[in-house]
Amino acid sequence: MMGLCFKCFEEGHFKLDCTNKVVCLRCKLPGHESKDCKRPRSPLPEEELRRSTAAKVARKDQPPRPSGAVVTHPPPPPPPW
């Protein structure tokens, strides 16, 4: 993650050296920052919420996966704000 630009999110240079257009972290569109974004944070539809809750409940009934075989990816870096 060395040299990641927090303005256009390209690697190889820093925000201060950036000559690219600013890219919104929220909607991924250039021209404005995420703090100026007019789009609301993608709200979870009620149906989606219900489905994920149901999945959690269903998962409880199944036996857990054998540990050790699954390699989880590290979490993404924190947002700049």
Q: Which residues bind Zn ion (CB under 5 A)?
A: 5, 7-8, 18, 20, 24, 26-27, 37
Return all residues near 79 (Cβ < 8 A) that are at least 6 apart.
25, 34
C-alpha–C-alpha distance, residues 25 and 33, integer Å: 7
Nearer to Zn ion, 2 or 57 (CB): 2
C-alpha–C-alpha distance, residues 29 and 68, integer Å: 39
Nearer to Zn ion, 37 or 54 (CB): 37
Nearer to Zn ion, 63 or 79 (CB): 79
Please state the closest distance from residue 2 (CB atom) to Zn ion, in A: 14
